[in-house]
Structure 1
């Protein structure tokens, strides 16, 4: 039985999608708002992914200001603040509809005295609602990448979580949907990865897949010689 289990957040414990569409139904005309085409904005936003996740930019405003500066476009702080507030609202939505079986899994792990940790590649506005969600009280430790300065699949973020939970990497399992090569990163750090395959099913991996969250309990029971 593992001493601790680490979970990814988005598309593992919560999802931003329903029927392959974003639940926020977001749609922005960046040309009208910022003077940059939607395609160019997507490229500029994506190219700053790692720096956004690791806290290089102090906030959302700094990211957009940098994009506009590079594009030689004027910076309208009121427009940026409006987009920021909308993004906070959008990122709060997944926290309000957490699956019952995920909560059941976490409660069962807690009852088994298994430490529960979270590692999320995220920015400040994406996890504003974390502390008010049903998930927060269950976790023994939480690591948000923007706060610690490194992100999955960097080995250091897994090792930091293990250290904070008082467990050696070989005593720890990691459960995630596979984005950002997080499963490979977990394996490289010495953890045992499991592929969460209940929300996001387009990422493939060679790691054991879990079609449903509660399958994890079956694996633990089997390892204890007590199949469910």
Structure 2
């Protein structure tokens, strides 16, 4: 069946936060001094709220920290929270400053083939604040950010919503992602053809066909 739409994951598929296997930002904050929590305790609290963060139940980063403070009966230090918030915004801007040329070439080729291009990303507002200023943005016919729609991968509803927005049936659509959040399995359940992008992230295992270079995807497109 002719391919009508290609949907991409964002982080570690179109942009990366890592270099040589290490996160580019060091996140060397003194959480004990800033929030009253040891770093490991903060990480546990942060990860336990992932779904609520991704689906917009928490409206922003400060709202998450406020909930953590209340849950731990800590004093809420607005100055410390705003400092961490601004640092996080700066950190999340970095991946959008230098987009790989081969990824832009892939998007340009898809557009030239008149294939619709969609984005499906699990994210929070501060993580994608600079997406629309990046070189990626003009290529997309539809953008589905989880925090805006209240659904996160791998829920099949988010893939179905993305397909509906582009008037493309799942069986006419492709999903490309690095495999985080079980997104590849979710896309398959939703009926899309799935490819595992490994040009940034090679650590996630899957049974899906791996794409080692962006240009390889073009060979998989049915016209």
Count of matched residue positions in the alignment of Structure 1 and Structure 2: 222
Q: How far apart, CA to CA, are the structure 1 residues paired with 2:109 and 2:59?
A: 37
Partner residue, 1:28: 29
Runs of 4+ in 1 over 3 A off after TM superposition: none
Partner residue, 1:125: 126
Alignment deviations for residues 12-61 of structure 1 (CA, whole Å, 9 cap, x no partner):
00000001111123211101111100000000000000000001111111
Q: How far apart, CA to CA, are the structure 2 residues paired with 1:219 and 1:60?
A: 39
Q: Superposed, which structure 2 residues align to 1:8-87 within 5 Å?
A: 8-87=9-88
TM-score (norm 2): 0.98
Q: How far apart, CA to CA, are the structure 2 residues paired with 1:43 and 1:152?
A: 21
For the pair 1:209 / 2:210, whether they are aligned, the reply is yes
For the pair 1:108 / 2:148, whether they are aligned, the reply is no
Contact 1:55–1:149 (8 Å) recurs in 2: yes
Q: How far apart, CA to CA, are the structure 2 residues paired with 1:32 and 1:210?
A: 44
Partner residue, 2:188: 187
Alignment partner of 1:199: what SS? coil
Alignment partner of 1:116: what SS? strand
Q: 5+ residue gaps in structure 1? A: none
| CA RMSD after TM alignment | 0.8
Alignment deviations for residues 170-225 of structure 1 (CA, whole Å, 9 cap, x no partner):
000000000000000000000011000111111010000001111001222xx45x
Partner residue, 1:175: 176
Contact 1:24–1:93 (8 Å) recurs in 2: no
TM-score (norm 1): 0.96
Alignment partner of 1:207: what SS? coil
Q: How far apart, CA to CA, are the structure 2 residues paired with 1:143 and 1:208?
A: 24
